[in-house]
Amino acid sequence: MLIPLFFVPLVVATLFSFFSTPLTILLSKRLGLTDNPKTHKHPKVVHAYTVPRGGGLPIFFALLSSLLFLPLNKPLIGILVGATIALTVGLLDDYYEEKISPLIRLASNFLVAGCVVAAGVQINFITNPVQGGIVKLDQIQIFLPLSSIIALFWIAWCMNFVGFSGGVDGQLPGFVAISATTIGILSLNFTEDVAQWPVIALAGITAGAYLGFLPWNFYPQKIIPGYGGKSLAGFLLATLSILSGAKLATAILVLGIPLTDALFVVFNRIRKGRLPFWGDRGHLHHRLLDLGWGKRRIALFYWCSSAILGIMALNLNSKQKFYTIILLPILFLVLILWINYLSTSLRPPGRGNG
């Protein structure tokens, strides 16, 4: 059995992250890497007290444990260089309280994605979920190979939409750990392919990095992931989904709630003539807060949703995953309509409406 390929790196990364987080909290306070809701006035801010930022530091430190388990080859170098850039931009954004332009952050996302794509991490094929077989993307050339273009946009998009669902205590590290675990377990089914062994270890490291951070971020949070911790989450999950054999459907399914929420939010922002990556209070976790849900409850909802979708991803075939992914936006819309109905029906009547 090759299960230790996943669990040993997970335990080591968990310990790295857990014990380095309190040091990060102290360092963030000394360097002014904090989020003060009195000075950082933004509709999306939901905490009422000053919280240290810089959560990307222990996540990155845990990622360095990959040097203990993985060969220092071209893909790993690309991942570590990309993660270093993501962390640097994240810490700068944390220090300046998210005053860095969203367009600059987006450009940095593509730069980070370019590091791993240039190292050979590309989506060379996708499975045709309806007719079966595969579609080879590396044979289609549009300035660059289509395999490189899709990988660039997939990684950059993941770095954004995963971070969108990180506004509530414990929300992000929980579903990221579950998502990485799902990819790791799926890769364990293909252990006869030695090329999957590093992927299994990296999945365990990613899960452990966020699992070790979770106790410090859960309500009441002692530290927030910050832009660095959020963008690293999307970067690592996107890269894992590619390295594990282009299992994009699995990643899309297990991240179904954050992904669908991001699509709805971006659509609404564009519809209102606003920049799609400029934060607001339109996310699902904000709607649930306005409905009266507590932060623990919201975090658990995201974890349970990811776990259920992860179990489905492990048991469905390609065609079933495809139709489930198609169904998710419909179910999400029903959920939003239900929340809107409850928000209206539970609102106390005004003087003018009887």
pLDDT for the residue 150: 92
pLDDT for 271 beyond 60: yes
- Cα dihedral 201/206/211/213 (nearest 10): 130
**Spatial distance between the Cα atoms of 33 and 13, rounded to a whole number of angstroms:** 24
Q: How many residues does the chain have?
A: 354
Indicate the burial class of 106 (C-beta count within 10 angstroms; 0-12, 13-18, 19 or more): middle
Residue 301 identity (one-letter amino acid) = F
Tens-digit pLDDT profile for residues 88-146: 999 998 888 767 888 899 999 999 999 999 999 998 877 777 666 677 777 777 777 88
Nearest to 178 by CA among 286, 295, 305: 305
Note if the pTM is more than 0.75: yes
Residue 327 identity (one-letter amino acid) = L
Tens-digit pLDDT profile for residues 9-66: 999 999 999 999 999 999 999 988 888 777 756 556 676 688 999 999 999 999 999 9
CA-based R_g, the chain, Å: 20
- The residues with which 52 forms a beta bridge, in sequence order, are 34
pLDDT for the residue 45: 65
Q: Round to the nearest angstrom and report the end-to-end CA distance of the chain.
A: 68
Give kind and range of the element (H or E) at residue 59: helix 56-63
Give kind and range of the element (H or E) at residue 81: helix 74-95
- The residues with which 126 forms a beta bridge, in sequence order, are 135
Tell me the C-alpha to C-alpha distance, in Å, between residue 272 and each of 42, 266, 279: 18, 10, 13
**Spatial distance between the Cα atoms of 77 and 108, rounded to a whole number of angstroms:** 18
**Spatial distance between the Cα atoms of 301 and 170, rounded to a whole number of angstroms:** 11
